[in-house]
Amino acid sequence: MNSATSATDPTTQEKTMNAVVLERRHEIRIRPVPGPGRVGPDEVRIGVHTVGICGSDVHYYTHGRIGPYVVEDPMVLGHEASGTVLEVGADVTHLAVGDRVCMEPGIPDPRSRASRLGIYNVDPDVRFWATPPVHGCLRPEIVHPADFTYKLPDRLSLEEGALIEPFAVAVHAVTKARISPGDVVAVVGAGTIGVLTAIAATASGASRVYVSDVAPEKFAKLRAYPTIHPVDAGEQDLAEVVREATEGWGADVVFEASGNPRAFGSLWEAPAPGGAVVLVGIPVSPVSLDVAAAQARELRIETVFRYANAYPRAIELAASPAVDLGALISATYPFEEAVTAFERGAEARPTDTKIQIRVAGA
């Protein structure tokens, strides 16, 4: 038996707690919601410490939907989270009360065909935090499957732990790219995912990484990485810069991390013959792909949807001296100022990389 007493009075577990709730488009409130309930034998209760604001959270706030996912009922926001274990279920052996953890927000059906194949991220029945109709984690406590809860090494802060979720996207993308030591890489888009992908590519052996964006202010967080080279898309063409730097050959791997439909018009000009194009950003509307251009150079095309089996690698890499996730945090708001934090997120300031909300003590 590995059960433990919760740090919270068990008699209060069924009571309400405040949460950050998207009531409808353009309306967020902090208000009571039902508590997470009791802990099952394979679950843990976690006191949430920090939650990052993701672009998807902001998109639900500003647009009320992402593709087929529509906010029809009030929804608790947040899926990038870290915290401290308060209680463990009877069958949990790898975690203990007091452990600092981060949580993988997508829970698949373990019996699904996708899960058995190891691609549980594309399980049609996956339940992902803050994706309608599933509630997120912007609340003081959550109950979560222990198998999707990961202990943080001492070198990582809880704030950095909340960045593991978007970093897992980057690590998954770099893994699918199959980067080799010395590869030249190009990244389109210097938003949070683009920046993290550039960092992951550098840490995975890329000799040079060229990152383009129309807002050069976004490059500030990359100055600590001497092998990452910013390209101001308003002044320079990424493909031309890469070709000039590689004697006309091109990049071994190109990551599209902007999701901007305009980026696809010239996407095939940057990769080298036999290279790879990894689609990380998700366009909000259909885009055109020049298949003939890709075929003419036998480009390998990979697509990325969230991640699968990437959290352990992301944690190990984040804890290495090659990565500094903490430097990407632009601002941290207390729980009671969560609405202000989302309003800032909706502003999309080019100098912001990651905005977080401190939930602990809420």
The C-alpha atoms of residue 181 and residue 339 are separated, in whole angstroms, by 44
Cα separations in angstroms, 58 against 66, 78, 99, 218, 342: 10, 10, 30, 18, 7
Domain presence at residue 53: yes
pLDDT for 7? 41
Domain presence at residue 270: yes
pLDDT mean over 258-266: 90
H-run or E-run covering 65: strand 65-66
Q: Which domain holds residue 178?
A: 170-303
Tell me, yes or no, whether 289 and 338 share the same domain: no
pLDDT for 14? 62
Domain presence at residue 313: no
Domain presence at residue 5: no
Domain presence at residue 3: no
Tell me, yes or no, whether 17 and 142 share the same domain: yes
In this structure, what are the phi and psi dihedrals at residue 218, rounded to the nearest 5 degrees?
-70, -15
The C-alpha atoms of residue 309 and residue 196 are separated, in whole angstroms, by 18
pLDDT for 285? 81
Q: How many distinct structural domains can be found in the chain?
A: 2
pLDDT per position as a tens digit, 143-172: 999 999 999 999 999 999 999 999 999 999
pLDDT for 362? 67
pTM: 0.94
Residue 129's nearest CA partner among 116, 138, 121 is 138
Tell me, yes or no, whether 152 and 174 share the same domain: no
